[in-house]
Amino acid sequence: MPKDDAHEAAARLAERALELPELATARTVAAYVSVGSEPGTRALLDTLHARGTRVLLPVLLPDNDLDWAAYDGPASLARVQHSGKMALLEPSGPRLGPDAVLEADTVLLPGLAVDGRGMRLGRGGGSYDRVLARLERAGADPALVVLLYDAEVVAHVPGEAHDRPVRAVVTPSGVRRFG
């Protein structure tokens, strides 16, 4: 996608996401900083932070689990090169532990695709599968929302027994809700 198109798509994605009641009323949102060809999340993160929403961002651990730290604006991000993996922008503040995600009212999830059942296809590292399992074990029920491009909403994605559906998908052209 050309750079100008990607910036425009990120702006539209942020607009659509910010219209969600799940984000409008959330005190804490667990999110992520987009990488590579993922739909851009920076405008969304900055707007949530400016509104006073507590934004938690992941910190990748050596075993692919996720720790969390608060997002305090663009200056709070540091580029971290993980061994054998891509570089990520991660929050540089104090680590809050893997269970910090349990405080989230809404969890924004990355993905490669989502289908008509709300099943999300991730990148295959299992990091967010662990997050979703942690939420389920604790009895936490935040709104699960995946951010994608329009073409990434597909008819069917393969699923496994541990996969959980998301509540909604946000794309630059709109929101689709499930179940």
Q: What is the pLDDT of residues 151-173, one digit of tens each?
A: 999 999 998 877 889 999 999 99
Say whether 83 counts as a known binding-site residue.
no
Say whether 122 counts as a known binding-site residue.
yes
Expressed in percent and rounded to 5, the helix, strand and coil fractions of the chain are 30, 30, 40
What's the confidence (pLDDT) of residue 134?
A: 96
**Contact of 68 with 55, CB cutoff 8 Å:** no
Hey, what's the torsion of the CAs at 96, 147, 61, 135, to 10 degrees?
A: 60
Q: State the chain's mean pLDDT as an integer.
A: 93
Q: 68-94 pLDDT, tens per residue?
A: 999 999 999 999 998 877 789 999 999
What's the confidence (pLDDT) of residue 1?
A: 72
* Per-domain boundaries in the chain: 3-177
Say whether 38 counts as a known binding-site residue.
yes
What's the confidence (pLDDT) of residue 179?
A: 78
Say whether 123 counts as a known binding-site residue.
yes
What's the confidence (pLDDT) of residue 162?
A: 78
52 against 2, higher pLDDT:
52
What's the confidence (pLDDT) of residue 159?
A: 83
Alpha carbons 62 and 67: distance in angstroms, whole number: 10
Element (H, E) at 129: helix 127-138
Name the residue among 16, 59, 56, 48 with its Cα closest to residue 142: 56
Say whether 127 counts as a known binding-site residue.
yes
Say whether 125 counts as a known binding-site residue.
yes
Residue type, 119: M
What's the confidence (pLDDT) of residue 124?
A: 74
What's the confidence (pLDDT) of residue 63?
A: 92
pTM, two decimal places: 0.94
What's the confidence (pLDDT) of residue 154?
A: 96
Burial class (CB in 10 A: 0-12, 13-18, 19+), 126: middle
What's the confidence (pLDDT) of residue 123?
A: 82
What's the confidence (pLDDT) of residue 127?
A: 93
Q: Where does 3-177 sit in CATH, by number?
A: 3.40.50.10420
Say whether 149 counts as a known binding-site residue.
no
Q: 100-152 pLDDT, tens per residue?
A: 999 999 999 999 999 999 999 988 788 999 999 999 999 999 999 999 999 99
